[in-house]
Structure 1
Amino acid sequence: MRNDALNQINKILDTKCNGCPIKIKLTAGCKGNYAPLEKHCKTICEHGTKLRELGGKLGRGRDKNG
Protein backbone atom coordinates (compact mmCIF):
# COMPACT_ATOMS: atom_id res chain seq x y z
CA MET A 1 0.00 0.00 0.00
CA ARG A 2 2.81 2.41 0.87
CA ASN A 3 4.64 1.60 -2.36
CA ASP A 4 1.45 2.14 -4.35
CA ALA A 5 1.02 5.57 -2.79
CA LEU A 6 4.65 6.47 -3.51
CA ASN A 7 4.29 5.35 -7.12
CA GLN A 8 1.13 7.41 -7.53
CA ILE A 9 2.82 10.46 -5.98
CA ASN A 10 5.78 10.14 -8.33
CA LYS A 11 3.48 9.77 -11.32
CA ILE A 12 1.51 12.91 -10.42
CA LEU A 13 4.67 14.93 -9.81
CA ASP A 14 6.22 13.77 -13.09
CA THR A 15 3.17 14.13 -15.30
CA LYS A 16 1.19 16.98 -13.73
CA CYS A 17 3.42 19.15 -11.52
CA ASN A 18 6.62 19.27 -13.57
CA GLY A 19 5.99 21.83 -16.28
CA CYS A 20 2.75 23.09 -14.73
CA PRO A 21 2.11 26.52 -16.27
CA ILE A 22 0.65 27.87 -13.03
CA LYS A 23 3.71 26.69 -11.11
CA ILE A 24 5.97 28.40 -13.64
CA LYS A 25 3.94 31.62 -13.46
CA LEU A 26 3.79 31.72 -9.66
CA THR A 27 7.50 30.99 -9.18
CA ALA A 28 8.78 33.37 -11.85
CA GLY A 29 10.66 36.06 -9.99
CA CYS A 30 9.40 34.88 -6.60
CA LYS A 31 12.81 35.32 -4.92
CA GLY A 32 12.16 32.53 -2.44
CA ASN A 33 8.53 33.35 -1.61
CA TYR A 34 6.67 30.20 -2.59
CA ALA A 35 3.60 30.90 -0.44
CA PRO A 36 1.32 31.69 -3.42
CA LEU A 37 2.33 28.43 -5.11
CA GLU A 38 1.87 26.45 -1.90
CA LYS A 39 -1.58 27.97 -1.40
CA HIS A 40 -2.58 27.16 -4.97
CA CYS A 41 -1.33 23.57 -4.79
CA LYS A 42 -2.93 22.88 -1.39
CA THR A 43 -6.31 24.48 -1.92
CA ILE A 44 -7.08 24.93 -5.61
CA CYS A 45 -5.20 22.34 -7.66
CA GLU A 46 -6.90 18.94 -7.93
CA HIS A 47 -3.50 17.27 -8.25
CA GLY A 48 -2.23 18.96 -5.09
CA THR A 49 -5.29 17.73 -3.24
CA LYS A 50 -4.62 14.19 -4.46
CA LEU A 51 -0.96 14.47 -3.38
CA ARG A 52 -2.04 15.47 0.13
CA GLU A 53 -4.44 12.53 0.26
CA LEU A 54 -1.74 10.11 -0.87
CA GLY A 55 0.77 11.64 1.54
CA GLY A 56 -1.63 10.89 4.38
CA LYS A 57 -1.53 7.23 3.41
CA LEU A 58 2.24 7.13 3.88
CA GLY A 59 1.93 7.48 7.63
CA ARG A 60 5.07 7.96 9.64
CA GLY A 61 7.05 4.96 8.50
CA ARG A 62 8.61 3.00 11.35
CA ASP A 63 6.83 5.07 14.03
CA LYS A 64 3.48 3.80 12.83
CA ASN A 65 4.36 0.35 11.53
CA GLY A 66 6.86 -0.72 14.14
Structure 2
Amino acid sequence: MSRKVATISKEFSGLVKEMFTKADNFGISFPMDLDVNMKATLLGSVFLIDFMYYELLKSPTT
Protein backbone atom coordinates (compact mmCIF):
# COMPACT_ATOMS: atom_id res chain seq x y z
CA MET A 1 0.00 0.00 0.00
CA SER A 2 1.34 3.43 -0.85
CA ARG A 3 0.26 6.87 0.23
CA LYS A 4 1.30 10.38 -0.68
CA VAL A 5 3.47 11.82 2.10
CA ALA A 6 4.72 15.02 0.48
CA THR A 7 5.06 16.93 -2.76
CA ILE A 8 8.37 17.99 -4.29
CA SER A 9 8.15 20.42 -7.20
CA LYS A 10 10.54 22.52 -9.28
CA GLU A 11 9.35 26.11 -9.07
CA PHE A 12 9.69 28.68 -11.85
CA SER A 13 12.08 31.37 -10.59
CA GLY A 14 11.58 34.00 -13.27
CA LEU A 15 12.59 34.32 -16.89
CA VAL A 16 15.90 36.13 -16.33
CA LYS A 17 17.06 33.78 -13.59
CA GLU A 18 16.05 30.71 -15.59
CA MET A 19 17.89 31.90 -18.70
CA PHE A 20 21.09 33.33 -17.23
CA THR A 21 21.84 31.28 -14.11
CA LYS A 22 22.16 27.62 -13.23
CA ALA A 23 20.15 28.08 -10.02
CA ASP A 24 17.00 26.05 -9.46
CA ASN A 25 14.17 26.58 -6.98
CA PHE A 26 12.38 23.61 -5.47
CA GLY A 27 9.35 23.50 -3.21
CA ILE A 28 8.51 20.84 -0.62
CA SER A 29 5.02 20.52 0.86
CA PHE A 30 4.41 18.17 3.78
CA PRO A 31 2.25 18.00 6.90
CA MET A 32 3.64 19.90 9.89
CA ASP A 33 3.29 16.84 12.13
CA LEU A 34 5.40 14.64 9.84
CA ASP A 35 8.24 12.78 11.57
CA VAL A 36 11.53 14.70 11.59
CA ASN A 37 13.37 11.76 10.00
CA MET A 38 10.91 11.78 7.09
CA LYS A 39 11.41 15.54 6.68
CA ALA A 40 15.17 15.03 6.54
CA THR A 41 14.73 12.27 3.97
CA LEU A 42 12.57 14.56 1.82
CA LEU A 43 15.17 17.32 1.98
CA GLY A 44 17.88 14.88 0.94
CA SER A 45 15.64 13.69 -1.89
CA VAL A 46 15.44 17.23 -3.26
CA PHE A 47 19.24 17.46 -3.42
CA LEU A 48 19.42 14.04 -5.08
CA ILE A 49 16.77 14.92 -7.67
CA ASP A 50 18.50 18.22 -8.44
CA PHE A 51 21.89 16.58 -8.87
CA MET A 52 20.82 13.45 -10.73
CA TYR A 53 18.37 15.07 -13.11
CA TYR A 54 18.87 18.82 -13.46
CA GLU A 55 22.61 19.21 -12.85
CA LEU A 56 23.62 16.31 -15.09
CA LEU A 57 21.48 17.72 -17.90
CA LYS A 58 23.21 21.10 -17.62
CA SER A 59 26.78 19.83 -17.52
CA PRO A 60 28.60 19.76 -20.86
CA THR A 61 29.59 16.33 -22.14
CA THR A 62 33.27 15.73 -22.74
More strand by share: 2
The structure with the greater share of residues assigned to helix is 1
In the superposition, the TM-score normalised over structure 1's length comes to 0.32
Higher relative contact order, structure no. (Cα contacts within 8 Å, ≥ 6 residues apart): 1
Using structure 2 for the length normalisation, give the TM-score. 0.33
